[in-house]
């Protein structure tokens, strides 16, 4: 795939009939560190677990020159499949030139991990464009977020960036490693 011929993941519906949330999205599960102390199930009914990995350089492959359209499903609060869900994905993985358009939930969500990314675009998503949780500590460069107010979910606040660091046990203070993305350009 190249800039002129990207891989396009899109709705199975005909052009003109496509809508945000037509299909679930892409989920990648790696073995990089998170700040979870027990293994967790992946959200949204996707089969898989994550949370106890200890390989910061884990390699889950390459997504390069990719467009993801009309993906994402919010099954219930805190139980969602984002357009691109990244669970404990390590920095041996390549995320480069990825555009997400018309996502029903978040465009990019990072559940821990250390993966880096460049040239990431979120366009017209209903919820957050870049969401970081559970000790994510990677670097993103050249990220763009373009909101379309008529598509944003006002009830969910539809943030450009959401960054959380839930405690392991409520009342015990922040979990470590702390969620600390480095965003530049």
pTM of the full predicted structure? Answer: 0.94
DSSP3 helix / strand / coil % (the chain, rounded to 5): 0, 40, 60
CB 23 within 8 A of CB 68: no
Nearest to 65 by CA among 28, 92, 94: 94
In whole angstroms, give the CA distance from residue 182 to residue 51: 21
Q: Where are the beta strands (DSSP E) in the chain?
A: 7-9, 26-29, 40-41, 49-50, 62-69, 73-76, 79-81, 84-87, 94-101, 108-111, 116-123, 130-133, 139-146, 161-163, 182-184
| pLDDT tens readout for residues 146-167 | 998 777 776 667 788 988 887 6
* % of the chain beyond a pLDDT of 90: 74
Residue 168: the pLDDT is 65
In whole angstroms, give the CA distance from residue 29 to residue 43: 11
Angle at 69 between CA 42 and CA 141, to 5 degrees: 75
| pLDDT tens readout for residues 70-123 | 999 878 777 889 999 999 999 999 999 999 999 998 999 999 999 999 999 999
């Amino acid at each position: 795939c190249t800039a002129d011929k990207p891989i396009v993941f899109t709705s199975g519906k005909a052009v003109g009939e496509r809508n945000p949330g037509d299909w679930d999205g892409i989920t990648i599960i790696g073995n990089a560190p998170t700040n979870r102390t027990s293994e967790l199930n992946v959200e949204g009914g996707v089969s898989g677990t994550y949370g106890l990995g200890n390989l910061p350089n884990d390699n889950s492959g390459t997504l390069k020159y990719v467009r993801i359209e009309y993906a994402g499903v919010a099954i219930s609060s805190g139980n969602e499949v984002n357009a691109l869900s990244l669970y404990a994905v390590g920095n041996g993985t390549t995320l480069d030139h990825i555009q997400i358009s018309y996502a029903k939930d978040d465009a990019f969500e990072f559940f821990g991990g250390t993966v880096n990314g460049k040239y990431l675009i979120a366009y017209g998503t209903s919820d957050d464009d870049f969401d970081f949780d559970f000790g994510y500590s990677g670097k993103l460069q050249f990220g763009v977020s373009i909101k379309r107010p008529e598509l944003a979910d006002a009830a969910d606040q539809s943030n450009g960036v959401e960054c959380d660091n839930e405690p392991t046990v409520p009342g015990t203070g922040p979990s470590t490693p702390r969620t600390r993305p480095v965003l530049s350009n």
